Amino acid sequence: MAIARKNKDLADIFLAIAQQGKPVYLKDKDLVENTIKSIKNLNCNNIAELNTKLEELKEQFKREMKNPENALTASAINNGKMDIYSMIQSLLTYYVKDKKTTSVISVDDFTNFISRLFVTEPSENAVIVSSIHQVKGLEAKTVFVINYNLMPYTSQRKTAEDNIQEKNLRYIAVTRAKETLYLCEGDEDEDEKKYRGDKEEIDKMIQENYNKYYNDEYDIELDY
């Protein structure tokens, strides 16, 4: 089982496993539906326009993140949308890599590709790819936690409760393995660092609200 906090990471690991010819399925039907819905809501005629729109949204997000005073709720929503958009862009890059032109390929062709790609029904010996939220209460013999070194995904722009829940998710991730746990590291991009904000302020926020939201059951530190 491979699990991740970010949707883009789920798409990347799914593609990597599928390209090796191994059976794999995504344990989140809603994610597939929401991804396709997000694509259609951008109202693009073809995938060239879609890619341009995604780049524009990425730049808009960067501009917003330069202001640390952005409203908590609005920023959290924008970051969630950007996670979906980053996932779409990753899938789009894979989809067009062998195609000579993109201006004649419809968005429907791309969404149909996504529907076919993501198997959401389990099969024998299939690798499970899932968000951490979806595997709460489940276990597997071997578990890979993607980008563990970047967890918890706390941010100065999130509420104290949301930041503490991010720490809880890290605990859930590292307790899913029955036998073998692999903690996989990744690099954090500059946009994500800007979104997180000041670590000292985040830690202060968490400490001030520790007793209200935090569950000692989820307190864990690993040497790896």
Give the global pTM. Answer: 0.83
User: Would 179 be classed as within a structural domain?
Assistant: yes
Tell me whether residue 223 is in a domain.
no
Q: Look at residue 207 and tell me if it is in a domain.
A: yes
3-state class of 25 per DSSP?
strand
The phi and psi torsions of 22 (rounded to 5 degrees) equal -95, 145
In a domain, 176, yes or no: yes
- Mean pLDDT (the chain, rounded): 84
Please count the other Cβ atoms lying within 10 Å of the Cβ belonging to residue 119.
Answer: 16
Contacts of 41 (CB under 8 A, 6+ apart): none
Residue 31 domain-assigned? yes
Q: Which amino acid is at 99?
A: K
Per the structure, the count of domains in the chain is 1
Is 124 inside any structural domain? yes
Average pLDDT over residues 144-171: 86
User: Which residue range forms the structural domain that includes residue 212?
Assistant: 2-218
Predicted confidence (pLDDT) per residue in 37-88, tens digit: 999 999 999 999 999 999 998 888 777 766 655 555 555 446 778 889 999 9
Does residue 184 sit in helix, strand or coil?
coil
Token pair in block for residue 172: 């859930």
Question: CA 15 to CA 77: how far, in whole Å?
Answer: 26
